[in-house]
Every structure is written in structure tokens, then in C-alpha cells.
Amino acid sequence: MLPYYGAEAFALHALGERILATGDTDLLAVAEAVRMGPVQVTTFAVGLLLLAAAGVLVAMAAARSGSLPRWAGLPFAVAVALCLPQFFGPPALRIAHGALMAAGCLVLALAARRRAVTA
């Protein structure tokens, strides 16, 4: 995923600076190629799929731990698994996804903290 965001952060900035300096708005067509090239999209998708798998593994580890509630990792896993689809939704969906992610992290953290305090 990092190459994808690196391309956006650096290449698109450079393109924007060049457009401002020259007034050549034809360079805007290059921006889409920078963002949606096959290598960029593949690394982005693979990274998010691996992240989703990691979220599921965290939920499984929490469920099997014997010290956390079996469901404690579920909200986190759902939020992490939905990272890729939320990019294709409207802003309201992305905000809701962020709230779900925060809630999932909070539930998992509170369950782990409660376990640490009682141990």
C-alpha cells in the first residue's frame, strides 16, 4: 500500500506544481494513470487484502485466548476487513467505517485492559 500512497503524495504533488507553473492542464490526464495504474492498484488491493486477513487473525487469536471475551475481536475484524470496500463508498460511508474502526479498536483495547487489571 505504501507505493500507492507514495505515488499520490509525491507524484500528484509534482504534477500539480507543474500544472500551476505551466498552465498545461493536459497533465491532469497523467494523474489518473498515476493513481490507477495496474501496479499501483494491485499493490493497494493486495495490501488491503492482507490487512483484512490480519484483522481476522486478530479476532481468532482473541477468541482463542481464553482470557478475552470470544467476541471482543469481531468488531475490529469487521472494520479491518471493510477497509477496501469503504474506498468505493460515499463520504458518509467512510465516516461510518472510521467510527466502526474506532469502536472495534476500543472494544478490543478495553477487553485486553480489563483482563490485565483482573489478572
pLDDT surpasses 90 at 39: no
| Domain segments of the chain as ranges | 1-36, 48-119
Q: What's the whole-number average pLDDT of the chain? A: 88
Using CA of residue 102, residue 57, residue 48, residue 88, what is the dihedral sign? negative
Residues contacting 79, CB < 8 A, separation 6+: 55, 97, 100, 101, 103, 104, 105
pLDDT for res 37: 82
The pLDDT-based confidence of 22 (bands split at 50, 70, 90) is: very high
pLDDT for res 2: 61
Say what percent of the chain tops pLDDT 70.
96
Q: Which three cell numbers stand for residue 97?
A: 467505517
> Are 59 and 74 a contacting pair, CB within 8 Å?
yes
> Are 76 and 107 a contacting pair, CB within 8 Å?
yes
- Distance between CA atoms of residues 54 and 25, nearest Å: 41
- The pTM of the full predicted model, rounded to 2 decimals, is 0.72
Of 99 and 47, the one with more pLDDT: 99
pLDDT for res 119: 61
